[in-house]
Copies of this chain bind each other. A is one copy, B any other.
Amino acid sequence: MGNLVVAQSGGPTAAINATLVGVISYAKESKQIKTIYGAKYGIEGMLAGEFFNFNAWLEQGGSLEQLLYTPSSALGSCRKKLEDGDEDTIQELIQQLKKKNIEYVLYIGGNDSMDTVAKLSKYCKENGIFDLTVVGIPKTIDNDLVGIDHCPGFGSAARYVATTCMELKKDSRVYNLPSVTIVEVMGRNAGWLTAASALSRENGQEGVDLIYVCERPFSKEQFIDDILELQKKQCSILIAVSEGLQGQDGTYLAEQEQEDVDDFGHPKLSGVGSVLEQYVREKIGCKVRSVELNVMQRCSGHITSKVDLVEAKTLGEKGCQYALEKKNGAMATLRRLGNAPYQVEYYATDVEQVANREKKIPLVWIVKEGNNVTREMVDYLKPLIQGEWKVRLKDGVPEYVTLF
């Protein structure tokens, strides 16, 4: 009988605590597990020996129901990676885990975090450490992980983007004059979330008119032509663009801010919306506005997708199950069985297949003009934003959980 530690890493999502709840729910029913710890701030907290005791929290009345819908990593997060060949840090990490009699490590994160799982589990395998099992559980609003049909956290972000684009369309068409509204959506190298803006025009609703994802080289001239063409037919035009749009020469359209390189060394992009806004103002001269959906697209706990939260929780349960089954180096994942009815099945995959890789939108799901997505793309997206999760309100605002 050993202890378990669960941690969260990388950018937060609105479903990442549902996964945490899945892990805790499964673990607390297991006779193999004594204490359920959370590491504060991912592997940073593990290295510093900063652990949160979930058993104590539950005894004091902590509510898993409220934790489930609380957005953003409740255990905190980190961007720290294990460097190649940095055995000292790995050994330090293992020492800290042993001190707490931890036998199971569950790490919830994206492709960078899965690299941590891969390195740690590999080290254990290669060094005969059989009493430590490390399992990864995926999350990312970017939906860019390989080895999974779609990522937990993505569906809720997609529902936020789709709903907000519907509402921005309503807002942008009130004046009887030509206007262009550019919505900047998160996604450095993969345009899945930008593509989700297409869901704003389902069911006969008006939504985005043009969509530019970062998988295709972007032409500013074509962009202006597309707008001018559409302006012949309609007054207000709503456009969704990926933050990571690149020109034909492969450089980012957004101004890169040097100070804002994140700890994984990726440049933080912002401003493709403003760049294009300025360009439309110069070339067309009509009313133009850019809207950055910013971190709201990943933290809007008040508008999550029920399908997403259920899957996120189930992946947490499955991850815990695989850890107890000693599937060291596994990642809990899911595949889609069909859309009518929508159904998925869960299984374990090798985290090595997932780490450090990126899944982009297949080019066949982008129309040949490069300014929209296809029906296949919409069919893929649609099931992921279904259903509402009931959030408890008090005085008109949500009752969220703060662990520490």
Interface residues of A (CB under 8 A from B): 8, 12, 40-41, 44-45, 70-73, 76-79, 159, 162-164, 166-168, 170-176, 199-200, 202-203, 205-206, 259, 281, 289, 291-292, 294-296, 298-303, 305, 382, 385-388, 393-400, 402
Chain B residues positioned under 8 Å from A164 (CB to CB): 296, 300
A112 to chain B: closest CB distance in Å? 14
A104 to chain B: closest CB distance in Å? 23
A184 to chain B: closest CB distance in Å? 11
Known: A176-B76, A206-B402. Is A296-B167 also a contact (CB below 8 A)? yes
Chain B residues positioned under 8 Å from A289 (CB to CB): 295
Please tell me if the beta carbons of A305 and B400 are within 8 angstroms of each other in the complex: no
User: How many copies of this chain does the complex contain?
Assistant: 2
A73, A300, A394: residue with the most chain B Cβ atoms closer than 10 Å: A300
Residue of B with least CB distance to A270: B289
A330 to chain B: closest CB distance in Å? 25
Whole-angstrom CA separation of A159 from B45 in the bound complex: 35
Please tell me if the beta carbons of B295 and A292 are within 8 angstroms of each other in the complex: no
Question: Which of B44, B166, B175, B294 makes the CB contact (< 8 A) with A176?
Answer: B44
Chain B residues positioned under 8 Å from A395 (CB to CB): 199, 202-203, 382, 385-386
Question: Which of B78, B166, B176, B203 makes the CB contact (< 8 A) with A40?
Answer: B176
Whole-angstrom CA separation of A45 from B386 in the bound complex: 39
Top 3 nearest A-B pairs (CB, nearest first) are A72-B170, A385-B396, A171-B299
10 A-B pairs (CB sep. < 8 Å):
A8-B174, A41-B175, A44-B176, A167-B296, A203-B394, A203-B395, A203-B399, A206-B402, A385-B396, A388-B393
A170, A259, A394, A396: residue with the most chain B Cβ atoms closer than 10 Å: A396
Question: Which of B167, B301, B385, B393 makes the CB contact (< 8 A) with A71?
Answer: B167
Whole-angstrom CA separation of A170 from B398 in the bound complex: 12
A270 to chain B: closest CB distance in Å? 9
